[in-house]
Amino acid sequence: MIDLHSHILPGVDDGARNLSESINMAKRAVEQGIHTIVATPHHLNNRYENPKQTIIDRVKELNKALVEEKIDLNVLPGQETRINGEMVQGYEKDEILPIDNTQYVLVEFSSSHVPRYTEKLFYDLQTKGLIPIIVHPERNQEIIDRPDVLYKLVEKGALTQVTAASVCGDFGKKIKNFSLQLIEANLTHFIASDAHNTSNRTFKMREAFDIVQAKYGNDLVYLFQENAELVIEGSHVYKEEPERIKKKRFFNIF
Ligand code: FE
């Protein structure tokens, strides 16, 4: 299994604080059945800078340490960029790092809203050959309130990644249910861990896929897992026609 989103690099953001925490995360990842993990440190999120070259250097060091520890996990370089109006310029200045230098870039919104310029920015990124992957849309309040905002972005070519722990209910029942709605409406294309540590923000990939399998069957599990592989290969991913999420209304009829 491949994990496209993690904070496993030591001392670069709010993920692993040091090498020993990275090693513990790596062991946990392997227990989950993960053989390849993309290290995606925060970029331009509050206090974290993490430009491209720093991440590439740190990933090399971590892979070396994992070989020494005999842990069978391959770490690939990536980045989780907080959405900003200068992303295209950032890419041109070689500060943005797509997943393992493919065309796929992880893009994070704040937890409250989706900037008005998003559609235009995504269009500009796509004309540069990049494909944005929106991380954890299920945790964004504006998207929860108005799922059509996400629908429109997906319709125009953006991809999305739901976090495994969200599917498991770790962020509450509302976010769990909304994650399932996104899956059912073909509004998400990947499940990844966004693991930060081995305690309160751990992997939960196996648990999430167990839920997906029980609810929707094996085909969807394979689709998500294969999509992660296709990203690493730099190939096109599988996309089903996205649907609009209808707001659920509950009527009590007596
Ligand atoms: Fe993250």
Q: How many A from CA of 238 to the centre of ligand 1?
A: 23
> CB count, 10 Å around CB of 30?
15
Does the pLDDT of residue 126 top 60, yes or no?
Answer: yes
Q: What is the DSSP string of 56-87?
A: HHHHHHHHHHHHHTT---EEEE--EEEP-TTH
Decide if domain 2-233 falls under CATH 3.20.20.140: yes
| Local confidence band at 205 (pLDDT 50, 70, 90 cut-offs) | very high
Q: Is the pLDDT of residue 248 over 70?
A: no
Interval between CA 210 and ligand 1 midpoint (Å): 22
Contact in structure between 182 and 188 (CB atoms under 8 Å): yes
Query: For residue 26, what are the CA distances in angstroms to 21, 214, 241?
Result: 9, 27, 35
- 56-75 confidence digits (pLDDT tens): 999 999 999 999 999 999 99
What is the distance between the alpha carbons of residues 47 and 105, in angstroms, rounded to a whole number?
20
Confidence check: pLDDT of 120 > 90: yes
Mean pLDDT across 190-209: 98
Share of the chain above pLDDT 90, in %: 95
Ligand 1 centroid, distance to 219 Cα (angstroms):
26
Query: Are the beta carbons of 230 and 237 closer than 8 angstroms?
Result: yes
At residue 250, does pLDDT exceed 70?
no
pLDDT of residue 246: 79
Taking 50 as the threshold, does the pLDDT of residue 254 lie above it? no
Report how far ligand 1's centroid is from the alpha carbon of 239 (Å).
Answer: 23
User: Which residues are within 8 A (CB) of 201 and not within 5 positions of it... i.e. 6 or more apart?
Assistant: 165, 194, 195
The domain limits of the chain are 2-233
Going from the Cα of 88 to the center of ligand 1, the distance in angstroms, rounded, reads: 20
With 60 as the cut, is the pLDDT of residue 252 above it? no
The C-alpha atoms of residue 198 and residue 175 are separated, in whole angstroms, by: 21
Edge-to-edge strand order for the sheet containing 42-43? 42-43, 80-82, 104-108, 131-135, 159-163, 190-192
Residue 47: pLDDT band by 50, 70, 90 thresholds?
confident
Calculate how far, in angstroms, residue 250's C-alpha sits from the geometric centre of ligand 1. Answer: 34
How many residues are given for the chain?
A: 254
Surrounding ion ligand 1 within 5 Å at CB are: 80, 194
| 253 SS3 class | coil
Rounded distance from Cα 202 to ligand 1 centre (Å): 12
Structure confidence at residue 46 (pLDDT): 76
How many other C-beta atoms lie within 10 A of the C-beta of residue 210? 14
Average pLDDT of the chain?
Answer: 96
Would strands 80-82 and 42-43 be described as parallel, antiparallel, or unpaired? parallel
CB-CB neighbours of 229 under 10 Å: 14
Name the residue among 116, 117, 109 with its Cα closest to residue 135: 109
